Amino acid sequence: MTFRHRIFISFSLLLLGALILAYVVLSKVLYQEISGQAYTNGQRYLKHIEWLVNQELQITDADKLQQVLKGIGQRLNLRVTYIDTSGRVLADSGVSTEAVAAMENHAQRPEIKEAMQAGTGRSIRYSSTLQTSFLYVALRIEPITGSGPAVLRVAMPTAQLQSGLDGIKGQLALFLTGLLILAGLLSWLISRRLGVEIKALSRTAEAIGSGDLEQRIEKAPGRDFQPLVQSINRMAKRLQSTLHEVSVRRDELETLLNGMHEGVFVLDFQGKVRLANKALHQLAGISGSILNREPIEFLRSPELQDACFRALHKEGKESEHVFLHLPGNRFVEATIIPVKFKTQEERQLIAVLHEVTELKRAEQVRKDFVANVSHELRTPLTAIKGYAESLASTSRQDDTHNNTFLQVIIRNANQMNHILDNLLQLARLETNGVSRSETVVDVHAALTRAWEICAPLAEEKEIRLDTQFEAQTVWVKADADQLVQVWVNLLDNALKYSPAQSWIKARAQRGQNEWVLALEDNGPGIESGQQERIFERFYRGRSAREESVVAGSGLGLAISRHLLANNKGRIWVQSPAPDTLQGSVFYFSLPIGER
C-alpha cells in the first residue's frame, strides 16, 4: 500500500469516526432539545387546560369533566388526565368514562409525585394502560371551587417526538454524508498531490542512491519534509565531494601504477586479482582483463602462485621474494608484500614483478665477454710468451729463427691490438657515437676494398666472391670507411663459417628510398633462438649443425649494427637462406645516394 493510499484511508477513517461521533452527539442533543421543547409546550398546554377546567368545574359532574377533557385532548392531540391528591384518576381523555374508574392509582407515578412536591413534574415512560411510551408533564392546580388541590397531566406519545427527531436525524445524516464525501474528495486530492511530490522526492533520492549525485530535491512535499529534503541534498553534496576525491585519488593511483615499468597487481583474501597495471598486462602478454583471476591463469608460474598462497595464509607481514623463469626465456623477480589487515576477509597482498631479462642477459654477456676476451687474449699472449722465452734462452745467433719468432710475436701482438681496438670502438659507439663524413659511396668499390682485406683467409679456404648487383654502380649515402668496415665484419663472419672451396654471394636491390645490400654464405646457418642475440656485443653463436663455437671476439656484428645506425641504416639476418636448408643471409640498408 502506497503512502498516498495510507494517508487517504487514515484520513477517511478518522473523518468517518468524527462524523459518526458528531451524529451520535447531535442526535442526543436534538432529542434532549425536542424533549425540552415538548415539556415547555406541555406546561403551556396545562396552563390553558387549567383555565378551561376552572371555568367548567362549576359543574361537578364527573361525566361532564370527562367530556371536557376528552374534547380538549382531541383538539390538541394530547392525552389529558385529571388526578386528585390521593392519586385517584377522576378523568382521562385517553379512555372511556367506564374505564376511568378501573384505572390504577397514580400517586406513585414519577411525574405526579414530582408535581405534588414541586408544582410541576415530568417523565418519559411506558404506559401500561395504553400500551405505548409517553412524555408526561404534570401540573398541580388549585381549583377555584375550593375542592382542594389536584394534578392536571398531559401525555404526548414519544412516537411523535421520535418522528420529528427521525426527520431531523435524516437531514443531519444526509448533510454529514455529503460532508464526508466532500472531505474524502478533498483528502484524496491532498493525498494525491502529496503522493506525487513524495514520489518525485523518492525518484530523486533513488537517483542519488544509484550514483547520479548531480540530482537535487528542489521542492519539499510539505514543511514537515523540509528537514529531510535538506538532509538528502547535503548528503548528496557530501557524497559527490567524497566520490570526487576518491576518483581523483583513484586516477592518481592508476596513473602512478600505469607509469611504473614494474608489473603490479593486488590480490584479495581469495587469491583473486583486484587491481593490475598496464605493465603487468604487457608482461603477461594479455590484452583483456585479468581481474578476478588467479596469477597462474595469466603468468603460468606455479612458483608465483605458491608464493602468493603462502603470503595470504601465513601470519605476520613478512614479504616473499621469488625468482621466475617465464616462457620465452624471460626472467622476473617478484616481491610479494602482505597488506595490513584486521580480519582474514580483509587480507590483501601486493605483488611487484620486475623483469630482469636484460639484467640476466647483460650478466650472461659479461660472462661471455670475460670468457671470449680471455680466450682471445690468452692465445696470442701464450704465443708471445713462448717465442719470447725461446729468444731469451737461445744462445745461437740464428737470424732466420729469430726473425720467424719475431714475426709470430708481432702477428699475435697485432691480433691483441685488433681486439682492443674493437673494444674501444664499440665503447665509443655505445656512448657518444663516432663522427662520420657522409659522402656518396660506391658500394662495389667498398666491397672490393673489404674483400682485399679478407683475401688471406679467403685464399686459405679457397672461397670465391660472387656479386649480383641490379646496377653496375650502386651509390649510397654513408661514411666510406665505416661502410668498408661493415663489409669486412660481414665477410669475416661468412669466411669463418663457410666450408672450404665454397662461395659467398653479395647482392644489391634498390628499394623506394634505400638500397638493400645482402651477403649470403653457404655455412651451417644460425639457430632461430640465436638470431636475435647475434647482434649483441661479445656474443659468439653456435652453428645450427655444429656444437663447436667459432673463434672470434663476438664484437663484429655489434659494431656493424652501431655503424649502420650511425649512417641511418639497419641490419638483420635470415637463416636458412632462401630456397636452401642451410646458410645465412645478412641484409643491411643504406639511403640511396645520387651521383
Q: What is the 3-state secondary structure (H, E, C) of 354-366?
A: EECHHHHHHHHHH
What is residue 269's DSSP assignment?
T
What is residue 450's DSSP assignment?
H
Average pLDDT over residues 168-174: 77
Cell of 336: 610479494
pLDDT at 516: 92
Choose the weakest-confidence range: 19-33, 92-106, 372-386, 581-595: 372-386
Choice between 548 and 204, residue whose per-residue pLDDT is larger: 204
pLDDT band at 22 (very low <50, low <70, confident <90, very high): confident
Question: Which of these, 296, 298, 267, lies nearest to 281 by C-alpha position?
Answer: 298
Average pLDDT over residues 18-39: 76
Cell of 585: 643471409
- pLDDT (tens digit per residue) in 434-447: 666 788 999 999 99
pLDDT at 491: 92
pLDDT at 449: 92
pLDDT at 464: 92
- Cα torsion 523, 524, 528, 532: sign: negative
pLDDT at 283: 80
Average pLDDT over residues 226-236: 79
CA–CA separation, 186 and 54 (whole Å): 64
pLDDT at 76: 81
Question: Does residue 266 carry a pLDDT above 80?
Answer: yes
pLDDT at 544: 42
Choice between 350 and 168, residue whose per-residue pLDDT is larger: 350
Question: Does residue 517 carry a pLDDT above 90?
Answer: yes
The single-letter code of the amino acid at 541 is: G
Average pLDDT over residues 43-63: 71
Q: How far apart are the first and last CA of the chain?
A: 96
CA–CA separation, 309 and 354 (whole Å): 20
The single-letter code of the amino acid at 34 is: I
Choice between 27 and 81, residue whose per-residue pLDDT is larger: 81
Q: Using an 8 Å Cβ cutoff, are 368 and 554 in contact? A: yes
pLDDT at 140: 87
pLDDT band at 145 (very low <50, low <70, confident <90, very high): low
Average pLDDT over residues 343-371: 78
Average pLDDT over residues 289-309: 86
Question: Does residue 415 carry a pLDDT above 70?
Answer: no
Choose the weakest-confidence range: 50-64, 122-136, 260-274, 476-490: 50-64
Question: Does residue 233 carry a pLDDT above 70?
Answer: yes
pLDDT band at 430 (very low <50, low <70, confident <90, very high): low
Q: Using an 8 Å Cβ cutoff, are 446 and 481 in contact? A: no
pLDDT at 547: 43
Choice between 380 and 450, residue whose per-residue pLDDT is larger: 450
Cell of 549: 663455437
Question: Does residue 221 carry a pLDDT above 70?
Answer: no
Fold for the domain defined by 438-591:
Heat Shock Protein 90 (3.30.565)
Which CATH architecture group holds 361-419? Answer: Orthogonal Bundle (1.10)
Bond before 157 cis per omega within 30 degrees: no
Question: Does residue 248 carry a pLDDT above 60?
Answer: yes
Question: Does residue 197 carry a pLDDT above 80?
Answer: no
Q: What is the mean pLDDT of the chain?
A: 79
CA–CA separation, 362 and 66 (whole Å): 149
The single-letter code of the amino acid at 232 is: I
Cell of 379: 692465445
Average pLDDT over residues 8-26: 76
pLDDT at 571: 92
Q: Cα torsion for 97, 103, 107, 109, to the nearest 10°?
A: -110
Question: Does residue 563 carry a pLDDT above 80?
Answer: yes
Average pLDDT over residues 6-14: 72
Domain 3-165 in CATH 3.30.450.20? The answer is: yes
pLDDT at 548: 42
The single-letter code of the amino acid at 560 is: S
The percentage of residues in the chain with a pLDDT greater than 90, rounded to a whole number, is: 9
pLDDT at 546: 46
Question: Which of these, 471, 479, 470, lies nearest to 440 by C-alpha position?
Answer: 479
Q: Using an 8 Å Cβ cutoff, are 376 and 540 in contact? A: no
Average pLDDT over residues 217-243: 76
Cα Rg of the chain, angstroms: 65
Average pLDDT over residues 97-115: 84
Average pLDDT over residues 235-240: 81
Choose the weakest-confidence range: 81-85, 431-435, 437-441: 431-435
Question: Does residue 589 carry a pLDDT above 90?
Answer: yes
Average pLDDT over residues 106-113: 86
pLDDT band at 241 (very low <50, low <70, confident <90, very high): confident
Question: Does residue 538 carry a pLDDT above 70?
Answer: no
Residue found by looking up cell 640465436 in the block: 530
Segments making up each domain of the chain, as ranges: 3-165, 259-354, 361-419, 438-591
pLDDT band at 236 (very low <50, low <70, confident <90, very high): confident
Choose the weakest-confidence range: 60-69, 148-157, 374-383: 374-383
pLDDT at 432: 62
3-state secondary structure of 575: coil
Question: What are the b/e assignments for 190-217, b being 16+ CB within 10 Å?
Answer: ebeebbebbeebeebbeebeeeebebeb
Average pLDDT over residues 554-566: 83
pLDDT at 134: 79
Options 3.30.360.10, 3.40.50.300, 3.30.70.20, 3.30.450.20; which CATH number does 259-354 get?
3.30.450.20
Question: Does residue 234 carry a pLDDT above 70?
Answer: yes
**What DSSP letter does each residue of 287-340 carry, written as one string?**
-S--TT--HHHHH--HHHHHHHHHHHHSSS---EEEEEEETTTEEEEEEEEEPP
Q: Is there a common fold for 3-165 and 361-419?
A: no
pLDDT band at 542 (very low <50, low <70, confident <90, very high): low
